């Protein structure tokens, strides 16, 4: 089939125009291939790389959060164990008279002469109620130290909040001790009614010093 005259003239003509036209065609084909094929693929690859980075970051954060949750769970379990132990050491309402008797016995066994033993109104402290106990006694340094040792050995929590000592002058090793003890109950428990103040007791000359007066010993406080 014969080509049209212009096209036949181009085919039969010099090689340079045909080479230029061929190069131009290749360039045009390459440009068209880039814009219509390669560029969309590159954009897709870039989007996938960005998404992969984002997913990797989210996975890393999720793993860190899981590790943090596990740490919180372990800490919560430890706190629950400590709470159980603390509950075992805090007296209930029915146990407070027993605790008062134990404190009175500790003072008596230490050789202190107690002139005042007065539990006061409970005060709210975070998750517990604090029950202050005012104590006034006479004795020596050694007897006071023995009393503190006995208080520290009690199975229930008793702390010393205020402490004051003064010499009596009538004996070399005798002094007056004014202190405030405190025990604690959970707020879910009802605080016991404060005991009536114990009347000051003046020890007789030459007589052994009296033990701690027990508040509520004449009636059942439970």
In this predicted model, what pLDDT tens digit does every residue of 23-76 receive, in sequence order? 777 887 787 777 777 778 888 888 888 899 999 999 999 999 998 999 888 988
Element holding 31 (H helix, E strand): helix 15-33
- pLDDT range class, residue 190, cuts 50, 70, 90: very low
Cβ atoms of 171 and 156 within 8 Å: the answer is no
pLDDT higher than threshold 70 for residue 8: no
Using alpha carbons only, how large is the chain's radius of gyration in Å?
Answer: 46
Q: Rounded to an integer, what distance in angstroms lies between the CA atom of residue 34 and that of residue 28?
A: 10
Q: Is 130 helix (H, G, I), strand (E, B) or coil?
A: strand
pLDDT at 118: 86
Query: What is the mean predicted confidence (pLDDT) over 192-210?
Result: 45
Task: Tokens for 123, please give them.
Answer: 């005060």
| Pairing status of strand 123-125 against strand 128-139 | antiparallel
pLDDT higher than threshold 80 for residue 124: yes
Q: Which of 120, 112, 161, 164 is nearest to 138 (CA)?
A: 112
Quote the Cα angle for 213-169-107, to 5°. 25
First to last CA, the chain: 124
pTM over 0.75: no
Q: What is the mean pLDDT of the chain?
A: 75
Q: Rounded to an integer, what distance in angstroms lies between the CA atom of residue 183 and that of residue 60?
A: 48
DSSP E strands in 33-127: the ranges are 113-119, 123-125
Pick from 116-120, 139-143, 164-168, 187-191: least confident: 187-191
pLDDT at 13: 63
pLDDT at 211: 42
Q: Which of 114, 110, 132 is nearest to 122 (CA)?
A: 132
């Amino acid at each position: 089939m014969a080509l049209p005259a212009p096209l036949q003239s181009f085919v039969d003509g010099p090689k340079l125009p045909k080479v230029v036209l061929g190069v131009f065609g290749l360039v045009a084909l390459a440009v068209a291939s880039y814009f219509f094929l390669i560029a969309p693929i590159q954009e897709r690859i870039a989007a996938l790389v960005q998404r992969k980075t984002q997913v990797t970051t989210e996975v890393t954060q999720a793993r860190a959060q899981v590790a943090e949750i596990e740490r919180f769970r372990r800490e919560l379990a430890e706190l629950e164990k400590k709470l159980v132990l603390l509950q075992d050491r805090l007296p209930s309402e029915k146990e407070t008279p027993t605790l008062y008797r134990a404190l009175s016995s500790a003072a008596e066994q230490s050789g202190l002469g107690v002139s005042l033993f007065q539990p006061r109104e409970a005060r709210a402290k975070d998750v517990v109620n604090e029950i202050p106990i005012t104590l006034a006694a006479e004795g020596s340094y050694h007897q006071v130290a023995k009393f503190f040792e006995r208080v520290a050995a009690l199975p229930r929590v008793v702390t010393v909040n205020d402490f004051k000592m003064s010499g009596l002058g009538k004996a070399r090793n005798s002094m007056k001790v004014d202190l405030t003890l405190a025990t604690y109950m959970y707020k879910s428990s009802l605080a016991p009614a404060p005991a009536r103040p114990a009347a000051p007791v003046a020890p007789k000359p030459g007589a052994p010093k009296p033990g701690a007066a027990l508040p509520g010993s004449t009636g059942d406080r439970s």
